[in-house]
């Protein structure tokens, strides 16, 4: 097993000793230590091993559980969250879902502002955790109706509210260094390439900082959709959620990224559907983009290379958007 339950001594029992029970105090105790799965049947490249880091094993279903809890922990340490406070955050869905779960556990009110391209499943999940979800139009960042600006306005207008702001908060990347340490341990230090989507940049930059501290020769490949500007392309609309922007957020340090792969929506979604049918991995569109990029990286890699692709979330969040209709 890749998870080790801890003993819960927080309760007393008449018929059994509390320290006989293996349990976590709450679901946040199950975050992290996600598994690597071999991709040998999907990415076939002689003498190159490819693996996926399956982050949907986190409790709310994505890598963002790691970030959400770290953001709340940091705010609590700094005295920015009073009991029963309101947490307001802009999110394309996964950070919002993770914060909604964590806020439910810690008894905070949660308000998530999300763009209208966010899948219906993500919106429904956030609401199921008790969050208030505000859907903002897909407009330019300069527009006051943009979801990041709406969230900032709501945070300023709400007494006692706190906005963690994953797009500028350094805790975002710091929390993801643990992923790099897990990959280093799981590959016994043999990892040569990591492929990760670039959204806020926290995941890729955190992984890069941890792994390059172990071996500066490790190549970190960022993945963005066509229409994102990180690699110097022209901005245009794209359907993949969670990665890509028409601006560079403060949380993205491009100096830690060795190269950027651009993946179009149709390539990513085709791979996403293929992986579900051929490997039983039900992943989201950004994960599909990471696998498309990983196949390219594997073709270029030297024999003996070990490529790890970040698979940030579950396809359950995109059933109506990516998987509706007959298989392509």
- What stretch of H or E contains 94? helix 94-106
Mean pLDDT in the chain?
Answer: 93
Cβ 161 vs Cβ 140: under 8 Å: no
Pairing type for strands 49-54 and 36-38 reads antiparallel
- Phi and psi angles of residue 106, each rounded to the nearest 5 degrees, phi first: -100, 5
User: What distance in Å separates the CA atoms of residue 317 and residue 6, rounded to the nearest whole number?
Assistant: 29
Q: Quick one: which of 70, 72, 55 has its CA closest to 108?
A: 72
Domain 27-62+170-318 and domain 64-162 have a common topology: yes
In 107-201, alpha helices (H): 120-128, 147-157, 171-186
Q: What is the C-alpha to C-alpha distance for residues 270 and 2, in angstroms, rounded to an integer?
A: 30
- Which of 53, 64, 122, 321 is flagged as catalytic? 64
64 is a catalytic site residue: yes
Task: Determine which of 79-93, 120-134, 259-273, 313-327 has the lowest per-residue pLDDT on average.
Answer: 313-327
- The CATH number that domain 27-62+170-318 falls under is 3.40.50.1100
**Which of 19-23, 157-161, 286-290 has the weakest average pLDDT?**
19-23
> Quick check: 18 pLDDT over 70?
no
Examine the pLDDT at 9 and tell me if it is beyond 90: no
- Taking every pair of C-alpha atoms in the chain, what is the biggest distance, in angstroms? 66
For residue 328, what pLDDT is reported?
A: 47
Q: Which residues of 132-165 are buried (b: 16+ CB within 10 A; e: fewer)?
A: ebeebeeeeeeeeebbbbbbbebbeeeeebbbbb
CATH code that applies to domain 64-162: 3.40.50.1100
pLDDT tens-place string over residues 44-71: 999 999 999 999 999 999 999 999 999 9
| Angle between helix 94-106 and 120-128 (nearest 10) | 10
Joined tokens for residue 172? 């975002």
Domain ranges of the chain: 27-62+170-318, 64-162
3-class secondary-structure state, position 221 = strand
Asked if residue 23 lies in contact with residue 7, where contact means CB atoms within 8 angstroms, the answer is yes
DSSP 62: B
> Which whole number is the average pLDDT over 197-223?
97
Averaged pLDDT, 230-250: 94
């Amino acid at each position: 097993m890749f998870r080790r339950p801890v003993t819960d001594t927080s309760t007393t029992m008449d018929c059994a000793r509390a320290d006989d029970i293996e349990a976590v105090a709450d679901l946040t105790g199950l975050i992290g230590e996600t598994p690597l799965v071999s991709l040998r049947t999907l990415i076939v490249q002689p003498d190159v091993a490819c693996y996926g880091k399956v982050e949907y094993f986190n409790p709310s279903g994505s890598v963002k559980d790691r970030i959400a809890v770290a953001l709340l922990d940091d705010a609590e340490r700094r005295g920015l969250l009073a009991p029963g406070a309101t947490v307001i955050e802009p999110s394309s869905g996964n950070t919002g879902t993770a914060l909604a779960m964590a806020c439910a556990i810690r008894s905070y009110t949660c308000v998530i502002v999300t763009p209208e391209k966010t899948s219906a499943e993500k919106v429904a999940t956030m609401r199921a955790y008790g969050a208030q979800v505000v859907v903002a139009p897909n407009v330019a960042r300069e527009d006051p109706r943009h979801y990041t600006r709406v969230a900032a306005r709501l945070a300023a207008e709400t007494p006692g509210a706190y906005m963690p702001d994953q797009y500028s908060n350094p805790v975002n990347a710091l929390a993801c260094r643990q992923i790099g340490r897990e990959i280093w341990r799981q590959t016994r230090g043999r990892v040569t390439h990591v492929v990760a989507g670039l959204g806020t940049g926290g995941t890729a930059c955190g992984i890069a900082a941890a792994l390059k501290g172990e071996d500066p020769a490790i190549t970190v490949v960022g993945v963005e959709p066509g229409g994102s500007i990180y690699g110097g392309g022209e901005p245009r609309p794209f359907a993949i959620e969670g990665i890509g922007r028409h601006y560079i957020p403060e949380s993205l340090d491009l100096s830690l990224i060795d190269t950027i792969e651009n993946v179009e929506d149709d390539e990513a979604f085709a791979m996403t559907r293929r992986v579900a049918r051929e490997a039983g991995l039900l992943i989201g569109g950004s994960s599909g983009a990471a696998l498309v990029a990983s196949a390219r990286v594997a073709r270029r890699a030297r024999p003996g290379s070990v490529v790890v692709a970040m698979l940030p979330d579950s396809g359950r969040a995109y059933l109506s958007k990516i998987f509706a209709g007959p298989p392509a």
